[in-house]
C-alpha cells in the first residue's frame, strides 16, 4: 500500500481525487468485503478526509457500486470464433481467465460480493453489476452448449464462481497441495466443458 498524504491532491483536481478514492476503495473492498471495509479506512488509504469521500460518492454503498462497476466493466477480447463447440468454449474460458489474472482485485470482489455484498431491496443477494465476463460467457455457452441441464446464464455464473475461486487460490499459492495457475486454468476449462455437456 502506498503512503499518501491526507487531504486533497495537489492542485485540487476532482477527477484525480475521485480516481484515488476508487483505487483505495477497490483495495479495501477486495481485502475486507463490503461489510468489513469502512469509509474511514478508504479515506485514509486515499489520503483524503471522509467528507471528501462522501462529497464524491455520497455513501459507502454508492462507493461500493462505483468500485464494482469499474471492476466489472471492460471489453472482452473476441475469442472462440472457430473450431468445435468444445474448442470455442475452451478458448473463451481461457481468455476470461487471462483477463481476470491481469485484474487482481476482480475475482476477490466478485466472490466477496456474492458472499456478503449488500442485499437487494427484497433481502436477497445481488448479482455483481453488469459483469462483462458473464455476458460473454453466457452468450458463448448459448451458442455452443448442449440442450438441457443448466441454462446458459446459470452455467456462466457457476463457471465464473469456480473461476474466481481458482484465481484467488492460484494467486495465494499457499501450501504444498496448491495447484499452479496453469493447472487451475485447465481445471476450470474442464469444469466448463462438463457443465455445458461438451466433455
- The tens digit of pLDDT for each residue in 100-144 reads 999 989 999 999 998 888 876 666 556 666 788 888 899 999 988
Delimit the domains of the chain by residue range. Answer: 10-71, 75-195
C-alpha cell of residue 113: 460480493
Residue with cell 466472490: 111
pLDDT of residue 38: 97
Stated pTM of the model: 0.82
Q: Kindly compute the dihedral angle of the four CA atoms of residues 38, 43, 44, 46, in this order, to the nearest 10 degrees.
A: 130
Question: pLDDT by residue (tens digit) across 25-84?
Answer: 999 999 999 999 999 999 999 999 999 999 999 999 999 999 999 998 877 777 767 889
- Nearby residues of 124 by Cβ (< 8 Å), 6 or more positions away: none
Check: CB of residue 152 under 8 Å from CB of residue 139. yes
Residue 76: partners with Cβ closer than 8 Å, 6 or more residues away: 95, 96, 99, 132, 133, 136
Condensed to tens digits (0 to 9), the pLDDT of residues 158-191 reads 999 999 999 999 888 765 566 889 999 999 999 9
The pLDDT value recorded for residue 10 is 43
The cell for 131 is: 459483469
pLDDT of residue 123: 61
CATH number, span 10-71? 1.10.10.60
Write down the pLDDT at residue 149: 52
Length of the chain equals 199
Nearest to 104 by CA among 184, 29, 179, 21: 29
Mean per-residue pLDDT, 5-31 = 82
Instruction: Say how far apart CA 7 and CA 20 lie, in whole Å.
Output: 11
Q: Find, among 29, 140, 120, 126, the residue nearest to 76 by Cα.
A: 140
Distance, in Å, from the CA atom of 191 to the CA atom of 199, rounded to the nearest integer, reads 9
Q: Which pLDDT score is estimated for 172?
A: 83
Amino acid at each position: 500500500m502506498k503512503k499518501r498524504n491526507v487531504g486533497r491532491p495537489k492542485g485540487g483536481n476532482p477527477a484525480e481525487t475521485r480516481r484515488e478514492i476508487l483505487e483505495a476503495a477497490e483495495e479495501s473492498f477486495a481485502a475486507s468485503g463490503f461489510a468489513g471495509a469502512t469509509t474511514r479506512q478508504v479515506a485514509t488509504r486515499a489520503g483524503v478526509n471522509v467528507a471528501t469521500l462522501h462529497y464524491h460518492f455520497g455513501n459507502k454503498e454508492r462507493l461500493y457500486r462505483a468500485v464494482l462497476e469499474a471492476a466489472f466493466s471492460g471489453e472482452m477480447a473476441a475469442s472462440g470464433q472457430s473450431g468445435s463447440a468444445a474448442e470455442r468454449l475452451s478458448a473463451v474460458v481461457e481468455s476470461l481467465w487471462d483477463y481476470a489474472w491481469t485484474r487482481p482485485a476482480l475475482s476477490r470482489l466478485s466472490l466477496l460480493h456474492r458472499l456478503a455484498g449488500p442485499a437487494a431491496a427484497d433481502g436477497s443477494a445481488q448479482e455483481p453489476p453488469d459483469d462483462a465476463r458473464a455476458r460473454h460467457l453466457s452468450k458463448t455457452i448459448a451458442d455452443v452448449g448442449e440442450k438441457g441441464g443448466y441454462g446458459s446464464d446459470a452455467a456462466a455464473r457457476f463457471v465464473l464462481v469456480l473461476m474466481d475461486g481458482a484465481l484467488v487460490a492460484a494467486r495465494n499459492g499457499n501450501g504444498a497441495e496448491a495447484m499452479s495457475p496453469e493447472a487451475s486454468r485447465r481445471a476450470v476449462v474442464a469444469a466448463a466443458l462438463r457443465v455445458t455437456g461438451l466433455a
